[in-house]
Each structure stands twice: as structure tokens, then as C-alpha cells.
Amino acid sequence: MDGKGGKLYYRGYSIEELAEFSTFEEVTYLLWYGELPSKGELREFSRKLAKNRELPKELLDVLEMMPKHAHPMGVLRTAVSFLGNFDDEPVKTPEDVYEKGISLVAKIPGIVASLYRLRMGLELVKPREDLSHAGNFLYMMFGKEPPKSWERAMDVALILYAEHELNASTFAVMEVGSTLSDYYSAVVAGIGALKGILHGGAVEEAVRQFLEIGDPERVEEWFFNALKNKRRIMGAGHRVYKTYDPRAKIFKKYARMIGDKRMYEIAERLETLVQKHLSKKGVNINVDYWSGIIFYAMGIPIEFYTTIFLMGRISGWTAHLAEYISNNKLIRPRLQYIGEIGKRYIPIERR
């Protein structure tokens, strides 16, 4: 990750080339094993993923029991934690991590799609082994094969979300993993971190902000009011990128192709103002700005967008966890205490 140059590479390959030519399955293989797979390796890896898609009946019962208003990321946190109870031996080697990883990476899209269908009062759809990871997700969600353009846009979204160095959620996963806890506990920690609106949750807030603006003619007034009220533009700013996020450039192309024209225009006008007035402070458009426009056009409810982010990012979490525990050291940062020491205890009646 090159925050000054605005570049991102996965195992040496530029994100632009991967988004152009690769698939989520291939990128996951690359992140886990360090090299692009041969045809046979990719076939075998994709087959294993497809074979792991089926959700246990008990898990579907859990999804049904969840409160209807619960945020889908919260439900996913519970679902992953529940699955962990079937498979909670500690992970000691990268192979342990990958074995559990393949099962969870394969199941997350089905969990999200099933939750969506339960909430819509629709019958659940069984996974299909002959579809791609992205295609199967949309199929399980909408009950029919998606248009090729949607399948590709979803595949690219998962590729772009798959990995991003030591972001807050990846660190949370590694920190829990470093205790030699189990894989699922580490992923649950990552889900908790990714859910926050300063991290993955910003993808939902960005779309809500476009809806709140509502009209391209209102963008300018809205933007200056936001600045005056010290309100943050969601989908802008990044701790490491001080340039336009390279992933956002690719998402923008798909938002233009698939997104609602009016929402796209609002976003484009707001983007111009962000780049003109905030980029000098290092605040630029980030990964979460354009992606929600694509999901919105597909008819996916806004509160589900962070779960799509997670569907991609779990690949990167798994790769980092496997790498870290192969030469593990307990992560234990220190804090500096500021204040008096050696104070005398005062009995409660005398305080």
C-alpha cells in the first residue's frame, strides 16, 4: 500500500490489473498462497469453495431467531460465532487457518443472502455449485441468475475489498489470532471492527448522505453546511491514503455503468467539491464512496452493504492471520499511564 502515490498491490500485482482480469476466487488464492494459481489449482480451489456453501440447518434457525431490526453485521457476528462452536480448536499453522477459512469464506454470502430473504419474507434459496462466488451470492439473494454485468460488478467489488494491509479490522483479527484462540473468534473481532462507520460502515453512510442531499442542485449548499457544522463527508478521508483511493477510481467506473443516474450525479458533484476543498488537507474520496451506488442499483437494502465489504475482506484477514501465526508472537501493546501514582486508599465514608 502506497498512501502517497495512491497505489495498492496484492502480492505484487496492481489492484487495477486484478480488477480488470481476475476473479475473487483467484485473488483469494493469490492472497493465501502467494502466487496466481495454475488452471488446475484454480479449478480445485473454486470447487472446494463451492462445496462448502451449504449452511447448516441450525444456523438458519439462528438467523430466523434474530431480532428483525438487528443490523446485518451484528447478525453476521452472531452467525460466525455460532459456527465457531462446531469447530473451535485453536489454529496453530497456516494450514489450520486455510482449512477453516475456506469453509467460512464460502458460507458468508449464503448467510447474508438468507438473512435478506428471511427479512423480505421470501423462501430461502439453496446455493449452486456451478456459479461463481459473486454469481452464487446474487443468485441466493434474488432467486435468479444475475445479469452478467451485475455478477462482474460484484466480483470486482469483492476483489477490491479483499485486502488492505493493517487496517483496523485486520489488526483486530491478528490481535485475537495471536493469542492462539480459534479462527472464528478472530473473525468475530474483525466483524466488530469493520462494522463501525469510521471503517467499513462508511459504505452505508455514504449512500444515506447521497439520499439526504436528494438533488444535484442541492449538493453545493449541503457541502458547505456540512463543513460549517464540522460534519464528515462519508466515503472521504483515509488514515494512509493522502491521494484519491485507487480502489475508488475503479468503483466509480462501475457506479457510472450500473448506478442510478441521479445518485451518480449527486456523488460526482460532491466529489468535485471534496477534491477542490478538502484534498489539500489530505482528505480524498475513499473506497466506500462509490461502491454503495452499485449495490443500491441492484436493489440491495443499504444496511447490507458492510456485509458485502466483509465478504471480500475475509480473504485478506485469513491471509494475514495465517502469515502471522506461522511466526507467532502475542500482540501486547503498552499504554502510558498519565497521573499520580502511590495514592493512599481512602475509605468510602471519607471521600
Annotated catalytic residues are 238, 288
232, 242, 256, 277: residue in contact with ligand ACO (rule CB under 6 A): 232
CA distance 12 to 165: 13
Tell me if residue 49 falls in helix, strand or coil: helix
Q: Which stretch binds ligand ACO (CB under 6 A): 39-47, 193-201, 207-215, 253-261?
A: 193-201
What x-and-dash track marks residues 248-287 binding ligand ACO by CB under 6 A? ------------------------------x--x-x--xx
* Residues in Cβ contact with 108 at an 8 Å cutoff, skipping those fewer than 6 apart: 76, 80, 307, 310, 311, 314
CA distance 120 to 116: 6
Minimum separation from the CB atom of position 255 to ligand ACO (A): 16
Minimum separation from the CB atom of position 238 to ligand ACO (A): 5
Q: Which stretch binds ligand ACO (CB under 6 A): 73-81, 232-240, 251-259, 341-349?
A: 232-240
Residue 261: Cβ-neighbour burial (10 angstroms; 0-12, 13-18, 19+): exposed
| Residues forming beta bridges with residue 237, ordered by sequence position | none
CA distance 40 to 170: 30
DSSP characters over 109-156: HHHHHHHHHHHHT-------TTS-HHHHHHHHHHSSPPPHHHHHHHHH
At 243, list the grid cell.
491521494
Query: Is 186:173 a contact under the CB 8 Å cutoff?
Result: yes
236, 258, 285, 308: residue in contact with ligand ACO (rule CB under 6 A): 236
Residue 78 or 286 with smaller CB distance to ligand ACO: 286
Residues 114-173 that bind ligand ACO (CB under 6 A): 167
Q: CB atoms < 10 A from the CB of 255, how many?
A: 25
CA distance 192 to 169: 8
Residue nearest to ligand ACO (CB): 237
Q: Does residue number 72 form part of the binding site for ligand ACO (CB under 6 A)?
A: no
Minimum separation from the CB atom of position 246 to ligand ACO (A): 13
Minimum separation from the CB atom of position 199 to ligand ACO (A): 4
190, 235, 292, 312: residue in contact with ligand ACO (rule CB under 6 A): 235
Minimum separation from the CB atom of position 251 to ligand ACO (A): 12
Query: Is 304:295 a contact under the CB 8 Å cutoff?
Result: yes
Q: Which stretch binds ligand ACO (CB under 6 A): 22-30, 171-179, 227-235, 330-338?
A: 227-235
Q: Which of these, 264, 331, 342, lies nearest to 297 by C-alpha position?
A: 264
Minimum separation from the CB atom of position 288 to ligand ACO (A): 5
Number of amino acids touching ligand ACO (CB under 6 A): 19
Residue 103 or 169 with smaller CB distance to ligand ACO: 169
Residue 112 or 248 with smaller CB distance to ligand ACO: 248
Residues 194-223 that bind ligand ACO (CB under 6 A): 198-200, 202
Q: Which of these, 341, 331, 74, lies nearest to 177 by C-alpha position?
A: 331
What residues line the site for ligand ACO (CB under 6 A)?
167, 198-200, 202, 232-239, 278, 281, 283, 286-288
